[in-house]
Amino acid sequence: MTQIVLTLLGAFAVTVAAGEQPSTTFATDKARALLAYLALQPVQAHRRELLAALFWPEISQQAALTNLRQTFHRLRAGLDRASPGCSDSLFLVTRQTLQLNPAALTVDARRFSDLLAASEVHTHAALATCEPCLARLAEAVTLYRGELLAGFGVGDAPAFEEWLLLRREFYHQQTLLVLQKLTTAYDARGDYDQAHTYAARQLELDPYREEAHRQVMRLLALRGLTSQALAQYERCRALLRTELGVAPDVETMHLAEQIRTGVFEGMTGWQGDKVTELVEVTPSLPHPVRLSSRRSLTLSPPHPNLPHNLPAQLTPLVGRAEAVVALCQRLQEPTVRLLTIVGAGGMGKTRLALAVGQQILDFRFWILDCLTSPVDPQNLKSKIQNQKFPDGVFFVSLAALTTVEAVAPAISVALGVNLPGEPQQALLQALRTKQMLLILDNFEHLLDASMLVVELLQVAPGVCILATSRERLHVRGEHLYQIPALDYGQDVSPVGMDAVATARTLSSVQLFTQCAQRAQANFAVDAQTVAAVLRICRLLQGMPLGLELAAAWVGTLSLPAIADAITQSSDFLTSEWRDIPERQCSLRAVFAWSWRLLTPPEQQVLRQLAVFQGGFARSAAQAVTGAPLPLLTRLVHKSLLQWEESEPTPMGGRYTLHALLRQFAAEKLAQLPDEQATAQSAHSRFYLTYLAERTVLLLRHEPQTAGAEIQYELDNIRQAWAWAACQGDGAVLEPAVYGWWQFCSWRGLISELRQSLAVAIQGVRTVVATANSHEYPQPALRLLSKLLAIHANLRFAQGVDEEMAAQAEEAIALGQRYGSREGEAFGYFVLGRAYQEFEKTADAVALWQKAILLAQADQQSPTPSVMVRDTERLAYMWLRGAAMAMEDYAGGRAYILRALAIAQSMGHVRAELACLTNLAWNDFVVGDYDAAQQRFEQGFALACTLDHRWAEMATCSGLGEVLRRQGRYGQALAWWARSLRIAAEYSAYDEALLMASLLRLHSYLGDQTGAEAWRSRLFALLEQSRLPKDCQRQGLLAAAVQAYYGGDLARALTYAEQVRQLTGPSEILTVRAEGFVVLGHIQAGLHQWTAAAASYHEALACYTKVGNQPEATEAQAGLAQIALAQGERVQAQPWVERILPVLVMHPHAGLTTPFFTYLTCYRVLAANQDSRAQPILEQGWRLLLDDAVGLTEPALRRSFLEGVAVHQELQRMHEVSG
């Protein structure tokens, strides 16, 4: 894979390969901007309509999408010009989204963030003593060569410009933070020179950064450079006076005076720069703003003894910096008096609320406000002196309370005040004039106390309340903050070069790492642990408590064992910590607490919702549980369900249920078997009906839409199928079978389809076996016929032809007896395929014709079956293959045209594509490569449009064959590699055929190392899988070619003889011919002239029947070579005369390589002193060089020219004759 290096910090640059100059060949700035935007957010798949709106906001969506497609095309073209094909590995593209593949791209800005994240989560006593973290931070500041995308802009895209501005400020602030940390660390180490270097760099980036001026002054003084330290002060004072019209801060003047008088002690007072402190606490702040036009301020705390009772935290807060900032900002708004942090148990509500309180105590909140809004620096201190909560911040835990009456006394205890008389009234009186923030924690079980909250806010206008609760308080004036899960990288791959670095940036991974290091100090996320850590984080879906409980097992259990235990039961997630409430010592306790707060109807609905997998629509929830909308809404308000409106779905918004909560609810449901069966049945009926309703759309002109809708609900459809299949519920399964088959075939889910059908077959058999003998359920038997036929069809290419035939025969018998037209007709088709494998072609043809007759009769019925009509199409397509095997090429083409007509009449666009692909192969077989290429290209474009992976694979394979025949070997390799990637998703059958093609091509190119690698893979696959004989035959033929080109003629002959034994009379003529050509070459190499001539004549007879003149030339050249070797130069001449006209029309004529033909023609013509000898040699030599130039990889070009005997000989003869 070509590695692309993208430079964004400083001037934009792209380097496609090591050592190359940066590529600037992009057609437009929008292309550069699009690449930068995707590169900085590689984990996310970006919806096309959002990208279009970002870059083209002033035009219609359709026009913007068109511009996006064109810009993306230009972007890919620019990259491919630098390194052909590199964009294929760089982009992950669907019809709806664009995304970068992080593994194919190195981005300096991402590396910068990864280095900071690694240092952030690394455990060390102090930065000054941690060499790895010092190295990380030093590398980070080296990467910052200037502001993000320096000098770059897109004037007509204001949203992008705003995004870019915020990103620039973020990286600028982060760099200042890192430089400040490095300055402080090297100061502590006594390395004042290095500390001075980093402090000076701060001033380069922000000349108004007064703390950096003080650091430079201090460091110079520590080195005894008093005059230079005072000069630095004068520069600072002049800059502030000239640019801002202000004097230095008291701390700066005091430091200068200490240095001047000689009483400097190194550190004085409270010198921490709170602007820097803010950014340090909020490393992932989305929109930090640097004070580029005004100085950074160092502030002494106006209230060093601000009242509070916040407990000190034993562990740092991870992944909540943005939430802290957002909550602080909302609390500053005058209209926000009651703010409730809402979320499920274990999501970290209490910890977040405490962090907000601490942030307020540290004044970082007000400094943030000054950073994000224009403020006169001279008035900043007075603004802070008038802060919102001068009477303090107080935390009140309500968890242990059991009555509403206990709330007022609990608040008074937290405040440290006595309440004479009636507690509630006394509390209201005490708080009437106060300006404070009350944090009321765990409110969900005391919701009736919300009226006290309302009254308190009415009586005490200076009081604000920050509440935490699993359920909103349901009062007017309440503002809500839904606490999100920590980022757990749902789309992050656990493999690839960037997997570890990307995983370390995820907040859930950072929290897990931090907690795991408390149990095992040397724990780290690396290449060995990243997959298991990501799995744990995903199973827990970013729940902080779950992550802490799981991490506690590190050192006791392996990471995979921890993940497996979570999968089996949430009971595993428990601890014996003594410093947390009992209801949080395990996830079961967390869920049980929420469960007890539900009404019986709410409990019933929640446990029934456990039958869903993944998200589900409102209509689905109501169909399965019968719950009215208000009840579902209450579950949302209680943080047990989540409602998502953002994603467009076929049924509107979606509910989601945390996986571990679903596990808990499922256990509750399992205790009520009748209710469980009812819920499962309703769920199955709803989703299989949903699937059946989309079957026609899936076939016809809306396959992408229907497929996307099915894909969106796939988890629930799988669950629905599994339940109905196990129950043998024919009434629910039967309408959905054909749609399930078509969808799985389209998406390449063949193994899953095969397994799911097998389960359904077993379920239906069980129903039939347990029914009364005189009351056989005929609908179930008709369904069984249909299931058996489809399942038998999927046994093809598995080497189990007898079992396939037996299933098909059973399907036919059941269909005939119980009236299943689908099972009977398709059974005949599948049985024909089995007979074809048995080399009983005539019997196979008769069976396919029976299927056609049944289908035609079915079309006259009042309710014709779509599946039966499609069976007729398939039968015609297989009759085409039989006709070609019987040398009836015109008949084969006619069959395909009939199949195409049926597909078009059905509106079955994927079937049309299959027919077009077969027509392309017909053109290929007869040697009309131009027509074949055109059809394959049309088919490929349509396959990509339809997102039809199998058709994409088939057309890629066909294009590879055509391009190889045209001498475009590098392109052929690329198409086959793409086809092979898709084939790996489908079956070993297609994979083996493509490996054989790649093995042959590498042999033709003289790349014996590459060829041997493909041979090893291919033979391993053939040994592991019971594949049909055509796979074995193609594999052996490719191995024979490799051995022949490698000079091992004895081994080549062994393989070629095995190929001949596997080649029956029913094989397509071109398949038989290629085996004879290769055998002839090997025999000729062994000087077995008579045997070689017989092989070439056999091949020539096949090609003549087909009418494939280009490939026939190689057999003719072989016969000419034999005649010349035996001294019969005159007899060789007629073969050459047949070849020469073909070479005019088809310069690359031949099966394996055209250069054997050119060399043989030259030798025969030269032996007969024919004047055409030198021109044909010249033509062959130039063609050889042209083909070599087309190989972009130097090693392949070299092996092509130097590693193939016939190519070496052609070059030698040209040199001698020249």
Over residues 376-386, the pLDDT tens digits come to 434 433 444 34
One-letter amino acid of 259: I
867 in the same domain as 730: no
The more confident residue out of 305 and 278 is 305
Task: Please give the model's pTM, rounded to 2 decimal places.
Answer: 0.58
**Does position 1147 have pLDDT exceeding 70, yes or no?**
yes
Can you give the pLDDT at residue 370? Answer: 41
Can you give the pLDDT at residue 114? Answer: 82
Of the residues 998, 1029, 1062, the one at which a domain ends: 1062
Token pair for 1069: 């003529």
Q: Confidence class of residue 1044 from pLDDT cuts 50, 70 and 90? A: very high
| Contact between residue 488 and residue 658 where contact means Cβ atoms under 8 Å apart | no
Q: Confidence class of residue 650 from pLDDT cuts 50, 70 and 90? A: low
Whether 302 is in a domain gets the answer: no
Mean pLDDT along residues 1180-1208 = 91
678 in the same domain as 665: no
DSSP 8-state assignment for residue 345: T
Mean pLDDT along residues 1126-1138 = 94
Token pair for 197: 């270097």
Contacts of 155 (CB under 8 A, 6+ apart): 161
Mean pLDDT along residues 1139-1149 = 91
**Does position 303 have pLDDT exceeding 50, yes or no?**
no
Q: What is the CATH number of the domain that holds 646?
A: 1.10.10.10
| Contact between residue 368 and residue 329 where contact means Cβ atoms under 8 Å apart | yes
Token pair for 281: 């606490």
350-364, 477-491, 1151-1165: which has the minimum mean pLDDT? 350-364
Q: If 0-12 CB within 10 Å is exposed, 13-18 middle and 19+ buried, where does residue 863 land?
A: exposed
By three-state DSSP, how is residue 495 classified?
A: coil
Can you give the pLDDT at residue 380? Answer: 39
Paired residues of 882 in beta bridges = none
**Does position 273 have pLDDT exceeding 50, yes or no?**
no
Of the residues 1025, 1040, 1062, the one at which a domain ends: 1062
Residue 1062's closest CA among 1029, 1018, 1102? 1029
Mean pLDDT along residues 195-201 = 90
| Proportion of the chain above pLDDT 90, given as a percent | 34
Q: Confidence class of residue 129 from pLDDT cuts 50, 70 and 90? A: confident
Residue 552's closest CA among 199, 900, 544? 544
Length of the chain measured in residues: 1218
CA distances, 884 to each of 94, 880, 1073, 1111 (Å): 37, 6, 14, 17
122 in the same domain as 15: yes
CA distances, 992 to each of 596, 752, 984, 1026, 1073 (Å): 58, 20, 10, 11, 20
The more confident residue out of 1091 and 551 is 1091
Token pair for 61: 């969506």
677 in the same domain as 627: no
Strands, sheet with 463-469, edge to edge from the N-terminal-most edge strand:
393-397, 436-441, 463-469, 338-342, 478-482
Can you give the pLDDT at residue 1048? Answer: 94
DSSP 8-state assignment for residue 98: E
268-277, 757-766, 869-878: which has the minimum mean pLDDT? 268-277
The more confident residue out of 166 and 856 is 856
Q: What is the CATH number of the domain that holds 456?
A: 3.40.50.300
Of the residues 482, 507, 532, the one at which a domain ends: 482
Q: What is the pLDDT of residues 896-907, one digit of tens each?
A: 999 999 988 988
**Average pLDDT of the residues of the chain:** 84
The more confident residue out of 615 and 993 is 993
CA distances, 216 to each of 194, 219, 364, 1076 (Å): 11, 5, 24, 84
Can you give the pLDDT at residue 388? Answer: 79
303-317, 831-845, 898-912: which has the minimum mean pLDDT? 303-317
Whether 784 is in a domain gets the answer: no
Paired residues of 338 in beta bridges = 465, 478
Q: Confidence class of residue 497 from pLDDT cuts 50, 70 and 90? A: low
343-347, 574-578, 1068-1072: which has the minimum mean pLDDT? 574-578
Mean pLDDT along residues 1-21 = 74
**Does position 809 have pLDDT exceeding 60, yes or no?**
yes
Give the Cα separation of 997 and 164 in Å (integer): 48
The more confident residue out of 379 and 405 is 405
1001 in the same domain as 1049: yes
Whether 301 is in a domain gets the answer: no
C-alpha 936: how far from chain center: 28
Q: Is the sign of the CA dihedral 653, 655, 658, 663 positive or negative? A: negative
Give the Cα separation of 905 and 873 in Å (integer): 11
443 in the same domain as 338: yes
**Does position 299 have pLDDT exceeding 50, yes or no?**
no
Give the Cα separation of 1216 and 609 in Å (integer): 83
Whether 878 is in a domain gets the answer: yes
Whether 775 is in a domain gets the answer: no
Token pair for 492: 């992050």
DSSP 8-state assignment for residue 86: H
Contacts of 222 (CB under 8 A, 6+ apart): 192, 266
| Contact between residue 714 and residue 649 where contact means Cβ atoms under 8 Å apart | no
Contacts of 930 (CB under 8 A, 6+ apart): none
Q: What is the pLDDT of residues 710-723, one digit of tens each?
A: 888 888 999 999 99
One-letter amino acid of 533: V
Token pair for 900: 């195409």
Angle at the Cα of 1034 (from 1028 to 1036), degrees rounded to 5?
Answer: 105
Neighbours of 29 (CB within 10 A): 15
654 in the same domain as 634: yes
602 in the same domain as 569: no
Whether 250 is in a domain gets the answer: no
Q: What is the CATH number of the domain that holds 900?
A: 1.25.40.10
**Does position 70 have pLDDT exceeding 90, yes or no?**
no
1045 in the same domain as 1075: no
**Does position 284 have pLDDT exceeding 50, yes or no?**
no
- In total, how many domains does the chain have? 9
**Quick one: CA torsion of 675, 680, 682, 683, rounded to 10 degrees?**
140
1080 in the same domain as 965: no
One-letter amino acid of 417: V
Q: What is the pLDDT of residues 515-532, one digit of tens each?
A: 888 888 889 888 889 889
Angle at the Cα of 832 (from 831 to 838), degrees rounded to 5?
Answer: 90
| Contact between residue 179 and residue 210 where contact means Cβ atoms under 8 Å apart | no
Q: Confidence class of residue 736 from pLDDT cuts 50, 70 and 90? A: very high
Token pair for 1199: 């092996």
Q: Which of 264-273, 636-645, 681-690, 1143-1152 has the highest mean pLDDT?
A: 681-690
Give the Cα separation of 421 and 434 in Å (integer): 20
Whether 97 is in a domain gets the answer: yes
Neighbours of 930 (CB within 10 A): 11
Residue recorded with tokens 């398949």: 1071
| Contact between residue 828 and residue 851 where contact means Cβ atoms under 8 Å apart | yes
Contacts of 641 (CB under 8 A, 6+ apart): 609, 632, 635, 655, 656, 657
395 in the same domain as 326: yes
84-98, 342-356, 749-763, 1184-1198: which has the minimum mean pLDDT? 84-98
1186 in the same domain as 1111: yes
Whether 491 is in a domain gets the answer: no
Range of the structural domain that residue 548 is part of: 499-575
Give the Cα separation of 198 and 176 in Å (integer): 10
By three-state DSSP, how is residue 441 classified?
A: strand
CA distances, 366 to each of 171, 318, 329, 363 (Å): 22, 22, 9, 6
Give the Cα separation of 297 and 294 in Å (integer): 9
